[in-house]
Amino acid sequence: MLVTLTTFFAFTLAVLGLAYYKTKNADTNTEEGYFLAGRGLTGIIIAASLMLTNLSTEQMIGLNGQGYGFNMSVMGWEVGASLALVIVALYFLPRYLKQGYATVPDFAGDRFDHGTKQLINGLFLLGYVFILFPIILYSGAIGMGGIFNIKEVFGLQSDFAMIAVVVAGIGILGCVYNFFGGLRIMAWADTFNGIGLLIGGMLIPILGLLYVGNGNLFEGLAVLVTQHPEKFNAIGSSADPVPFATMFTGMFLVNLFYWGTNQVIIQRALAAKNLKEGQKGILYAAVLKLFGPLFLILPGIIAFHIFRDNPLKINDMAYPELVKTVLRSPWLIGLFAGVLFGAILSSFNAALNSTATLFMLNIYKPYFNKNAKESEMVKKGKIAAVVLAVFSMFVAPLIVFAPQGLFQYLQTANGLYNVPIFTIILVGMFSKKVPSWAAKTALISFIIIYGITQVLPMTGADAALPGFLRCFVRLHFLHILAILFVLCSAFMLVMGKLYPEHSKFDARNDKKVVDTKPWDKVVLVSCLITASVIGLYVLLSPLGIAK
């Protein structure tokens, strides 16, 4: 244990030290310097930061848990993201950078009105505090607690107690880390952590296959494909967490929201030095997402084979148990724990920084101190982030009682604000006639109806509904999101026809904040990525190795 802990702390401190060295002369006392890294991020840095912000323990624990319990159909969250990133690079990012936005709600304010902006801003803050922060902390506690056997080491009586202790530790360290600097130091730390995550992430399935194949990598893969071909089926069935049909409905919308309008993610691209570097970063990330199933789902399948005679009680424990099984060396375990902790801190601090950005720029400054100095904005932004983080630390341990698994809980709960916000942003980009009252009505209606469809089946009250409504509320939540997206979009467009409100706002106008000349290879790379997604689905289907 001493060797493991020493390696863990050495790696963590080395990454922080390198990140601090690369950014020690950066000005983080201004709003743009702290919240947007001085608009100076390059393609590689953006790609690394996007990946590390996205790839945390909720993916490594949650997706591998679903791979353990189901099959490759859950890769839609990863591979499908590549298609969403292509659209973001081609369509969304050019419009954001031309306007010089710091936050996504700024667009809603320009296109509709101040009320719509604040409604979206409030939804982001509530979603981050009650869903995103707790999920990151909870999944981090599962991963770190499992690797270090914290429950046994400290003699804790329950998983809940172990999770609560580790959540507190991660939350406190994350808040301290947040005070080192803003988005720039996080982006550089993500770059160094990203190298470790790619190496460490790929090391687990490689060692797992060697374990299954008695030292032969390809023999291990052959064993899995031969004995469990159904596990390699990315098409799946309606009983799986992610039926293939959702790729063309709600999942596509969720991925577009996450990569194109989610403040935590898109803030990395908004900090690009120019459109060319922003598009590079987004498409580099899209390429990396194609390899996601190798270290985010395959380890779960390996764990299914290894623990088939003694099944795990909780699917989400598959990844930590596999890590302990295949990483025999104490220093390797410490190194991997350091990489995993870096991923946790990356996601947690990305959320902290984005939350501070939304709160300070859209609430504190306009309502509490319109003349606040930039240094005051940064200082109080850090304090606000810590307060919200501490609150979420009390919420996180309660997720242990979620019956459907970590990742499914995350995506279902996110539906309360992700696609509703995306619907408003997308319609606002396409139509200048939709009135602001129609946008607010659609947004609130979307959230209420979706919430009802998720609560009724949980209480059993759906049985009393008429046949049509009963079938509707029992649909997969991604299909429900897609149906509500169509209905709310149609409502707004019809209201735009009947009660047009001609907006002078044009998202294509260029305010010359940064150079908006596109990357000359953006279309070619986008086409190659799209073809690769199709090829992967053919390979991992009954037409390929899942016969």
The answer to whether the beta carbons of residues 178 and 382 sit under 8 Å apart is yes
Q: Where are the alpha helices (DSSP H) in 363-405?
A: 365-367, 374-395
**Residue 510 included in any domain:** no
**477 is a domain residue:** no
Residue 545 lies inside a defined structural domain of this protein: no
487 falls within a domain = no
Domain that holds residue 215: 2-96+123-403
Show Cβ contacts of residue 39 under 8 Å, excluding neighbours closer than 6 positions.
32, 270, 271, 272, 273, 513, 514
Domain for residue 496, yes or no?
Answer: no
What is the Cα–Cα distance from 170 to 345, expressed in whole angstroms? Answer: 8
CA 17/CA 9 separation, integer angstroms: 12
Residue closest to 123 by CA, chosen among 272, 267, 257: 257
Give helix 374-395 / helix 133-147 axis angle, nearest 10°. Answer: 60
Residue 181: predicted pLDDT: 54
Asked whether residue 285 is assigned to any structural domain, the reply reads: yes
Residue closest to 139 by CA, chosen among 366, 440, 347: 347
The CATH number of residue 183's host domain is: 1.20.1730.10
Overall residue count recorded for the chain in this entry: 547
Structural contact between residues 340 and 47, judged by C-beta atoms closer than 8 angstroms: no
Q: How far apart are CA 298 and CA 542, in angstroms?
A: 17
- Give the span between the Cα atoms of 328 and 332, in whole angstroms: 8
Number of domains comprising the chain: 1
CA distance 381 to 359: 8
Q: CA-to-CA distance for 531 and 525, rounded, in angstroms?
A: 10
Listed in sequence order, the residues at least 6 apart from 371 whose beta carbon sits closer than 8 Å to its beta carbon are none
Q: Could you list the pLDDT tens digit for every one of the 547 residues in the chain?
A: 666 667 766 766 666 666 666 555 554 454 444 444 456 678 888 887 788 777 766 778 888 888 898 889 889 888 999 999 999 999 999 888 887 777 788 888 888 888 998 999 888 888 888 888 888 888 778 777 777 777 776 777 777 788 888 888 888 877 776 665 555 566 566 666 667 777 777 889 999 999 999 999 999 999 999 999 889 998 877 778 788 888 888 888 989 988 988 887 887 788 888 899 999 999 999 999 999 899 899 999 999 999 988 888 778 788 888 988 888 777 777 777 777 777 777 777 777 777 877 888 788 888 888 777 767 777 787 788 788 888 888 888 777 665 455 566 677 788 888 899 999 999 988 888 899 999 999 999 999 999 988 888 777 777 777 777 888 888 888 899 999 999 999 999 999 999 988 777 776 676 777 788 999 999 999 999 999 999 999 998 888 887 7
Q: pTM of whole model > 0.75?
A: yes
Q: Is residue 261 a part of any domain in this protein?
A: yes
| CA 366 to the chain's CA centroid | 29
Q: Supply the angle between the helices 263-270 and 275-289 in degrees, to the nearest 10.
A: 130
In sequence order, what are the beta bridge partners of 41?
272
Q: What is the pLDDT of residue 82?
A: 94
Residue 329: closest CA among 415, 505, 207: 207
For residue 532, being part of any structural domain is answered with no
Cβ(424)–Cβ(454) under 8 Å? no
Q: Give the model's pLDDT for residue 12.
A: 67
Closest to 355 measured CA to CA, from 119, 132, 109: 132
